Chain A
Amino acid sequence: MELLSQTIICGILLGGMYALIAIGMTLIMGVMNIVNLAHGALVMVGMYVTYVCAQEFGVDPYLGMFVAMLVLFFLGCLIQKFMINRLVEVESILPENQVLLTVGIMLVLTEGIRLIFKSDYRSVVTSYSSDTLYFSGMAISVPMLTGFFIAMLFTFLLHLFLTRTDLGKSIRATAQDRDAAVYMGINASKITMITFGLGAALAAAGGSLLLPLFYLWPDIGHLFTAKSFIITILGGLGSTGGAIVGGLILGIAESLGATYISMGYKDVVGLVIFLLVLLFLPGGVRSLVKRWQA
C-alpha cells in the first residue's frame, strides 16, 4: 500500500513539472497554430544553461533556472522572429511545412549543444540532491517536491498573468482570433514572438526543475518533445488546465510503469497511453469534461 501511494505521489510530483513544460508548448500552439517539435530541444538547452551556471559558476540550480528562463525567452523570441515567422508570412507555405521547420530547429539546437558539450551524460549534484522526506512510511525526494511546488507556483503566476494583465489578455485574444486582435490594435506579430519566448522560458523552467532528477545529454530533448506532445493531446489541444491534467496523468502512468513493470518501460507506458487516447478519446480529457457537462 505504501509503495502504491508513494508511486502515485511521485507520479504527481513528476507530472506537475512535465505539465509546466507542456503548458509552454500549449501557449505556442495557441498563437501559432503549429506543434513546435523543437520544444523539447528548448527544454534541453535550458537545462544546459542551468547546468553551466551550476558547474562553472556554482549557482544553485533553482537560481540558475531564472538565468535559463531569461536566456531561453530571448532565444525563443529570436527563433520565432527570424525563422518561423518567415514561413508564417508566406501564405503558400502550409502549416505542415512550418512544423518541418521546427524539426530543423530541433536538430540544429541538439547538434549545436553536442558540439559544445559532446554526448556525455552530465548531472548536477547539490547538497540536497539525495535528501528524502519520510512521511508515514513513504519516501519522497526533496528535489521532486521542491520542483513540483515551484512548477505549480509558476503555473499559478502564468494564470494570473494571462487573466489579469493586458499583455496576457492580448496573448489569449491573439490565440482565439488573430484578425480580431489586430482590429483591437494588438500587434499580433509581436505578441506571437513574445508568446514563443514565454513558452521557451517555461520549457527552460520545467527542464531546470527536472535537472536534479535526470541525466543530461543532448538528445534528452526528444524525450521532452514526446512528453509535451502526449500531454497536450491528453489534455485536449490548447488548454492550460488540460495540460495540467495531462501532465499529472502522464506522470502517474510513468511512475506506475517504472515501479510495477520495469524502469526501462517508463517511457513506453506514456506512448501506449498516448495511442489509446488518440484512438478512443481524440479530443483529450477536455472533450470528456465537455461531454459530461452537456
Chain B
Amino acid sequence: MLKVKNLNAAYKDLQVLWDVAFEVKQGELVVLLGANGAGKTTTLNAISGLVASRTGTIEFLGQDIINLPGHKIAQMGITHVPEGRRLFPEMSVRENLEIGSLMPEAKAKRQETIKKVYELFPILAEKRNQDAGKLSGGQQQMLAIGRGLMALPKLLIMDEPSLGLAPVLVSQIFDIVKEINKQGVTVLLVEQNVVRTLGMCDRAYVLDNGRMTISGTGSELLNDEHIKEAYLGI
C-alpha cells in the first residue's frame, strides 16, 4: 500500500533522513521506532507532504506522491494524527470531528462516523460542545484519533499517540489502535513504548539518526540483541 524508497529529507541545510526505505502492506499495523530526534516525525511528515525539502519515492496505492502538496495527499486517503495532537483549540469537539471529514465520501457518511467515534470514545459525546482546547490531555488525544477516523482513512498515520498520558490511558489508547487496525484500517504507528508496540504490531522498523537500521516482525525485534540493549535495557 505504502512503499517508501530512498527517502531523503532536510530542514534548510540540515539533512535529517538518509535513504530511508520501508513498506506498509494493506491491513498491516507497522511500527516505526527510534530514539528522540531520530527522524520519526520527519518521516511521517515527509509522507504527508509537510516537509518542504524531500526526495526519493513515496508510492501510495501505486502512485508516487512525493511531489504532491499536503492536502492532495490527505485527500488520497492518508490521514495523519500528528504529534502533539494539533487540534483546533477554539473549535468545539464536534466541529473538530466535522472538519476531519471534508472529503466527499467521508462527508457523505459524516453523521454515521461521528456516531461510531462517540461509541469508541463516549467522553467525546459528553463534551461535544466544549472547545477542544479545554479538554484534558487524554481527551484531546482521543479527539485527535477520532478526528483522524472521521476521514475514513485508507492509511492511518499516528505519531506518538500515547505521549504524555497516564499509564491507564496509554493502555486504553493502544487497545483502541489495535481495534482500529482489526476493523481493517492500515496503521503506521510511531511510538517510544517499545515493548507494548512490538507486542501488537505486524512488523516494525527502527530509525537511528535518520537511517533505517533494523526491521522485522514484532517478535523478531523483541528478541533482537541490539533492540534489547538499546531500548529495553536488558
A residues neighboring B (CB under 8 Å): 163, 166, 169-170, 172-173, 176-177, 179-180, 182-188
Asked whether B99 is an interface residue with its Cβ less than 8 Å from the other chain, the reply is: yes
Asked whether B227 is an interface residue with its Cβ less than 8 Å from the other chain, the reply is: no
A183 with B88, Cβ < 8 A, contacts A169-B95, A170-B99, A173-B99 known? no
B86 adjacent to A166 (CB under 8 Å)? no
- Besides the contacts A170-B99, A179-B86, A185-B74, what 11 more A-B pairs have beta carbons closer than 8 Å? A166-B98, A169-B98, A170-B102, A173-B88, A176-B88, A182-B48, A183-B48, A183-B86, A184-B74, A184-B99, A186-B102
A180 with B82, Cβ < 8 A, contacts A172-B88, A188-B71 known? yes
Q: A172's closest neighbor in chain B, by CB?
A: B91
Chain B, 39-92, CB within 8 A of any chain A CB: 48-50, 69-71, 74-75, 79-80, 82, 86-91
Closest 5 CB pairs of A and B: A185-B74, A180-B86, A182-B70, A176-B88, A183-B80
Query: How far, in angstroms, from A172 to B99 measured CA to CA in the complex?
Result: 10
Q: A167's closest neighbor in chain B, by CB?
A: B102
Q: A174's closest neighbor in chain B, by CB?
A: B88
Query: How far, in angstroms, from A184 to B148 measured CA to CA in the complex?
Result: 8
Query: How far, in angstroms, from A203 to B103 measured CA to CA in the complex?
Result: 32
Q: Helix, strand, loop or mixed for chain B's interface?
A: loop
A182 adjacent to B71 (CB under 8 Å)? yes
A166 with B102, Cβ < 8 A, contacts A180-B88, A183-B80 known? yes
CB proximity of B34 to chain A, nearest CB, Å? 21
CB proximity of A243 to chain B, nearest CB, Å? 15
Chain B residues with CB under 8 Å of A182's CB are: 48-50, 69-71, 74
A185 adjacent to B71 (CB under 8 Å)? yes
B95 adjacent to A166 (CB under 8 Å)? no
Chain A residues with CB under 8 Å of B107's CB are: 166
B91 adjacent to A169 (CB under 8 Å)? yes
Give 30 CB contacts A-B under 8 Å.
Answer: A166-B98, A169-B95, A169-B98, A169-B99, A170-B102, A172-B91, A173-B91, A173-B99, A176-B91, A177-B86, A177-B89, A179-B50, A179-B86, A180-B87, A180-B88, A182-B49, A182-B69, A182-B70, A182-B71, A182-B74, A183-B50, A183-B70, A183-B80, A183-B86, A185-B71, A185-B102, A185-B103, A185-B151, A186-B99, A187-B69
Asked whether B218 is an interface residue with its Cβ less than 8 Å from the other chain, the reply is: no
Chain A residues with CB under 8 Å of B147's CB are: 184
Query: How far, in angstroms, from A184 to B75 measured CA to CA in the complex?
Result: 8
- Residues 93-127 of B, flagged 1 when their CB comes within 8 A of A and 0 if not, give 00100111011000100000000000000000000
Query: How far, in angstroms, from A48 to B98 measured CA to CA in the complex?
Result: 40
Chain B residues with CB under 8 Å of A177's CB are: 86-89
Query: How far, in angstroms, from A152 to B98 measured CA to CA in the complex?
Result: 28
Chain A residues with CB under 8 Å of B70's CB are: 182-183
A183 with B99, Cβ < 8 A, contacts A176-B89, A188-B71 known? no
Query: How far, in angstroms, from A184 to B69 measured CA to CA in the complex?
Result: 12
CB proximity of A56 to chain B, nearest CB, Å? 43
Q: A180's closest neighbor in chain B, by CB?
A: B86
- Name the one of A169, A176, A183, A188 contacting B82, with C-beta atoms under 8 angstroms: A183
B90 adjacent to A184 (CB under 8 Å)? no
Q: B98's closest neighbor in chain A, by CB?
A: A169
Query: How far, in angstroms, from A157 to B38 measured CA to CA in the complex?
Result: 49
CB proximity of A47 to chain B, nearest CB, Å? 33
Query: How far, in angstroms, from A185 to B103 measured CA to CA in the complex?
Result: 8
B74 adjacent to A183 (CB under 8 Å)? yes
A172 adjacent to B102 (CB under 8 Å)? no
Query: How far, in angstroms, from A177 to B140 measured CA to CA in the complex?
Result: 15
Chain B, 14-53, CB within 8 A of any chain A CB: 48-50
Chain B residues with CB under 8 Å of A173's CB are: 88, 91, 99
Q: Which residue among A170, A182, A183, A186 has the maximum number of chain B CB atoms within 10 Å of its CB?
A: A183
CB proximity of A184 to chain B, nearest CB, Å? 6
Chain A residues with CB under 8 Å of B102's CB are: 166, 170, 184-186
Q: Which residue among B48, B79, B86, B100 has the maximum number of chain A CB atoms within 10 Å of its CB?
A: B86
Q: A239's closest neighbor in chain B, by CB?
A: B90
Chain A residues with CB under 8 Å of B98's CB are: 166, 169
Q: Which residue among A170, A172, A173, A187 has the maximum number of chain B CB atoms within 10 Å of its CB?
A: A173
Chain A residues with CB under 8 Å of B95's CB are: 163, 169
CB proximity of A168 to chain B, nearest CB, Å? 10
Query: How far, in angstroms, from A160 to B44 measured CA to CA in the complex?
Result: 36
Query: How far, in angstroms, from A170 to B74 measured CA to CA in the complex?
Result: 14
